[in-house]
Structure 1
Amino acid sequence: MSWTEYLRAQPAGQPSRRGQNGDPWHAGGPLAGADPTLALDRLLTPGAVPPGEQDETLSQAVWRLAHSDLSDPDGIALVARIIECFDNDRSSGKPDWNPERDARAKWTAARAKVGTELPTAGEAFGPVAYLDEVAADLGHPLSVWAADPETRKIFAGEVRRTRARSLAEAWTASEEPVDIPPGTGLGDMLNEPETEQQWRIRDVLPAGARVVFSAMKKSGKTTAVGNLIRDMSSVTPDPFGAVRFLGRFPVEQVPGTVALVDFEMSRDQLRGWYRDMAFPNPERVHVWSLRGQARSFNIIDPKTRKRWADKLRALPGGTSFLVLDCLGPICAALGIDESKNQEVGPLLDAIDALLLEADVPGMALVHHHGHVDERSRGASRLGDWPDVEWKLVREKDDKGKPLDSGKRFFSAYGRDVEQHETELKYDRSSRRLSLGEGNRAAVKATQHHDTVLQIAREYPGLTQNRLLNKVVGAKVPQQQGRKAITDLADNGKLHTHPGPNRSKHHYVCDCPDPLECVQYKQASQSGDSGDSG
């Protein structure tokens, strides 16, 4: 006999208010079921359930009652009666004791779970009672083979996951079938006319490509993204050539709007930085500032993705390029573990679907590096998915730790793209970036050249030992200082004039081509030592 059947079997016309004689919920007979600890006369007898068992027993009782056809008022009243019986001996010590309030809270929470999700071990909704019911359906005495709480916990999790998969499969089956695009015979494909490589940014971004732009933390990622958007949205008389990304790579200007969906910067800070960059055509850029609102970009959901596709398609001239800055907040908001391919994969697939549905020909997905490796943090799919990878890294110290004030370096690799690591120059007033010369190894090799030249210019004619002593005094390691002096002499930026006792005196050459400096050649040939310094 279930609780509902027991309650219905009580004589009709009995008053239903708690605490009165004739109450239909008064203890009167045991409840038949898989768990004898839930017998109704035991639950409603003060002191029958030991204090150490009351919380678990109450959880099981509430869970079962919530799954019955009891009305909410009747269920709350019954739970309150059980609480009264459980707390009968200690109610006097609780000035705020209110069984009906507690019963309403437990009942409401349990009712909310009915039909939506399964309980797990540790939840206050009677997992043991639920598992007993499952075991009874299966014809297995769960209390015999799964009396261990840990086993029941695992069992509950497996049941929950199995039913969740069934629901997901049913949901997927109810969706409209997807049209399969037509294929092409290889012969017909080979007969198609060849087309030249089209570029959106020459040498670093093919037209229609997806780029993952990954960067070390605090390396200037947001500044670089701003430079990218500024250059892509700028209109010039020459459709290909006048605007150059990072001062070097020509940008093709195409109709439409560049869309930025930013999840990281505050609106005020983003506005201030972009104002400093002086966008020539701000009307060609549309910004969604969604810091703290990344859940609104749940494009894995087809309905949400359609709404975003509609918005992107509705921008003036359509969306010519999409920038998502950055991946981390999206994953966090959607509960995606960015280190797992099986979780990141559906999001990347959804981005592809969004580009297709919104007719967006290219995009950049911004992401962070990990703490150690100089690659996109997380799942390997983030390296497989893009057509091109851009990287932004910082100069490191001798121990391999990135320097906060160190120089920045840009590189790009991918399909038809190979731009080796090159130093970036930064104009602080305009927040503009441009490519310099040399990679980290080359920059490190020349890092003390400016110090040597400054000292040699201030003290012309110093011998090598005297020059080296002053360079070391400027906190340059001796070995690196000696190498810097030798390198500058070899490339002609320091003239070395012979002096007495086979000494060499050093002078700075400011000629455009130091190696072709006539003065240097004549002085070297004549043996003029100049100022002995």
Structure 2
Amino acid sequence: MTDLDEWDRWEGFDTVPPPEPGPGDQTNPFDQGSPEHEAWQRQEDADKAERRAIRQRQLLAAETDRQLTLLRARTAAQQQFNAEQAGMVPVPVGISLTDLLAQPIEPARYRIDGLWPRRGNVMLSAQYKAGKTTMRDNLVRSLVDGEPFLGNYHVEPVDNGRVGVIDSEMAENKLQEWLRDQGIHNTDQLILWPLRGRVRAFDVLNESVRLRWVEQIKAAEIRVMILDVLGPVLGALDLDENKNPDVIRFFAAFDATMAEAGVEETVVVHHMGHGAERSRGASRLRDWPDAEWRLVRQKDEDNPYGDADPSAPRFFSAFGRDVDVREGQITFDSLTRRLRYAEGNRKQARANAALMFVLGFVKEHPSASVRAIQDASQLVDGVTRDGVRDAVKHGVREGFLAVADGPNRSNLHTLTAPGFAALRSDF
């Protein structure tokens, strides 16, 4: 029962009843339905409404005072807590430009040449099912075994500690299977935290939980940490990846955790948006890393804004502070799960695919016209009529194709010796 219900129970005691008829009265003016009775009832209803309104205002004022007291107490408690925490964080000492310039300048160093500066953060953004986990595993193998990353880039191995992986997505048995296939030699150099189904455990926003992670990471001597992937972690912490304040809040806690634990470099793996080629979510996601790595698939020219074919070729690029690696194609060895980078962007890859189709078709169909090659290309994914026309021109220009006059002013094409060699090498 509310305070107002209780008030209604008792306010009837204040009601003034209509007078009783006297012994000589023939007609009681307060009889039910009489004009006098109706006037009395209206006044009584108005008085009752006024008393109820007064009581409502009194209750509202009392509840407002109570809530204000709670808010003041909560604010004071937060201020006291912040002061206690601030006392635990050392304040850095400033340095003058004179002293800074007097210090010896260290040459730029990279964890991975041209891709990852020492003491830097990397965000690997990948399209849906583009192979981000395979790339992560290739990265892990290079870091602990010292092998060139993607078959091309020199790696400074982590020899003063270990590599850590916080995995929020893969099942533990699948994680075991995929890493085993990598053939990693220095297995003791890799520490894993499989968190699928328990991502909430990585609650770095909770100070006591965060400090426990600091202790565990420090005890494991992690120098390079990989968080794969970001989205489930933000979701588990009730943070919205599309809101800049939530992103800032997470990375402030994440960076503090890594710094206090002695981690020197970090990689965060994140998804790209639907049909997009940048990290999904708020703009501040792109402010955090020193370098961005992108892993994308070849687009369908007939549907450039849709998701690429899952079987389409993959392409890798990187840019950031002292990082500028142009887009190149990634090849995959299914037996060893090794990735390799080769120069050549998606436009060049499409042109090469069209040229290989043209050379292969002309080899099987000597004296083929452009129209015949174009008609045949309609049955091949990724090769267009315009691509065939450009490839024929390129093949003639490079000496891969010989041209002869045909009927009705057509041009007929045959394969030359350089063309046979190009077809065998597939560039």
Q: TM-score, normalised by structure 1?
A: 0.63
Aligned-partner Cα distance in 1 for 2:86–2:175: 41
Q: 2:94 aligns with which of 183, 190, 195?
A: 183
Q: CA deviation at 1:500?
A: 7.5
Distance change (3 Å), C-alpha of 1:311 and 1:455: same
1:485 and 2:410 matched: no
Picking from 292, 296, 306, the partner of 1:393 is 296
C-alpha displacement of 1:408: 1.3
Alignment match, 2:48? none
Are residue 214 (structure 1) and residue 125 (structure 2) matched?
Answer: yes
Match of 2:252 in 1: 349
Higher deviation after alignment, 224-233 or 278-287: 278-287
Question: Aligned residue for 2:348?
Answer: 442
Structure 2 equivalent of residue 426 of structure 1 = 332
Task: Give the counterpart letter for 1:391 in structure 2.
Answer: R
Distance change in 2, residues 1:472/1:394 (3 Å): closer
SS of 1:175's equivalent?
A: helix
**How far apart in 2 are the matches of 1:194 and 1:280?**
36
Higher relative contact order (CA 8 A, sep 6+): 2
Aligned mate of 1:379, from 282, 286, 289: 282
Matched, 1:285 2:195: no
SS in 2 for 1:322: strand
Q: What is the 5 A alignment of 1:229-240?
A: 229-235=140-146
Please state how far the C-alpha of 1:226 moved relative to its aligned partner. Answer: 0.8
1:442 to 1:132, Cα distance in 2 relative to 1, 3 A: farther
CA 1:367–1:37 in structure 2 vs 1: closer, same or farther (change >3 Å)?
same
Paired amino acid for 1:483: D
Whether the aligned pair in 2 keeps the contact of 1:394 and 1:408 (CA below 8 Å) is yes
Paired residue type of 1:455: F
**2:415 pairs with 1:507:** yes
Which of 284, 301, 317 is the matching residue for 2:206? Answer: 301
Q: What is the CA–CA distance in structure 2 between the aligned matches of 1:328 and 1:405, rounded to whole Å?
A: 24
Q: CA deviation at 1:213?
A: 1.0
Matched, 1:38 2:6: yes
- The code of the aligned residue for 2:120 comes to A
1:505 deviates by 3.6
Question: Paired residue for 1:228?
Answer: 139
The residue identity in structure 1 corresponding to 2:282 is A
Amino acid at match of 1:260: V
CA contact (8 A) 1:208 1:361 kept: yes
2: CA distance between counterparts of 1:216 and 1:430?
A: 23
**2:350 alignment partner AA:** K
Aligned to 1:459: 365
Does structure 2 retain, via aligned residues, the 8 Å contact 1:463–1:506?
A: no
Residues 438 and 163 (structure 1), Cα distance of their counterparts in 2 relative to 1, 3 Å cut: farther
Shift of 1:264: 0.5
Matched AA of 1:447:
A
Q: Which one-letter code corresponds to 1:172 in the other structure?
A: N
Task: Give 2:157's match in structure 1, choosing from 249, 253, 256.
Answer: 253
State the alpha-carbon separation in 2 of the partners of residues 392 and 38 from structure 1: 68
Q: Which residue of 1 aligns with 2:81?
A: 171
User: Kindly tell me: are residues 500 and 410 of structure 1, through their superposed partners in 2, closer, same or farther at Cα, counting changes over 3 Å?
Assistant: closer
Q: 1:132 to 1:456 in 2, by over 3 A?
A: farther
Q: Is residue 214–residue 367 contact of structure 1 (8 Å, CA) maintained in 2?
A: yes
Letter in 1 for 2:256: A
Q: Take 1:271 and 1:198, find their aligned partners in 2: how far apart are those partners?
A: 32
Aligned match of 1:90: none
The answer to whether the 8 Å contact 1:497/1:506 transfers is yes
Deviations 1:81-115 (A, max 9, x none): xxxxxxxxxxxxxxxxxxxxxxxxxxxxxxxxxxx
1:249–1:509 CA distance, 2 compared to 1 (3 A): farther
180 and 131 in structure 1: CA distance in 2 versus 1, 3 angstrom threshold: farther
State the Cα deviation string for residues 328-380 of structure 1 (Å, max 9, x = none).
11111111111112122121011211121111110101111122432211122
Find the counterpart in structure 2 of residue 203 from structure 1: 114
Rounded to whole Å, the distance in 2 between the matches of 1:452 and 1:441 is 17
Where does structure 1 lack aligned partners over 5 or more consecutive residues?
1-30, 43-128, 141-155, 236-242, 515-533
Query: Do structure 1's residue 324 and structure 2's residue 324 form an aligned pair?
Result: no
CA contact (8 A) 1:453 1:508 kept: no
Sort the Cα spacing of 1:193 and 1:230 in 2 relative to 1 into closer, same or farther, 3 A: same
2:311 matched residue in structure 1: 405
Distance 2:75 2:185 in 1: 52
State the alpha-carbon separation in 2 of the partners of residues 416 and 275 from structure 1: 34
Q: Is the 8 A contact 1:472 1:481 kept in 2?
A: no
Matches within 5 A, 1:82-231: 133=59, 135-136=61-62, 165-175=75-85, 177=87, 178-231=89-142
2-structure distance, mates of 1:418, 1:409: 15
Q: In the alignment, is the contact (CA less than 8 A) between 1:389 and 1:412 conserved in 2?
A: yes
What is the CA RMSD across the aligned residues, in angstroms?
3.1
Partner of 2:33: none
> What's the CA shift for 1:430?
1.9
- In structure 2, C-alpha distance between the alignment counterparts of 1:335 and 1:495, rounded to whole Å: 61
Counterpart-to-counterpart distance in 2, 1:450 and 1:371: 31
Alpha-carbon distance, 1:212 to partner: 1.1
Deviations along 1:159-192, one digit per CA (max 9) or x if unpaired, are: 9877755543343234351321111110010111
SS at match of 1:485: helix
Aligned length: 370
Map of 2:26 onto structure 1: none
Unaligned runs of 5+ in 2: 11-54, 423-427
Q: Tell me, in whole angstroms, the C-alpha distance in 1 between the residues paired with 2:272 and 2:57.
A: 45
Q: Distance in 2 between the 1:448 and 1:165 partners? A: 67
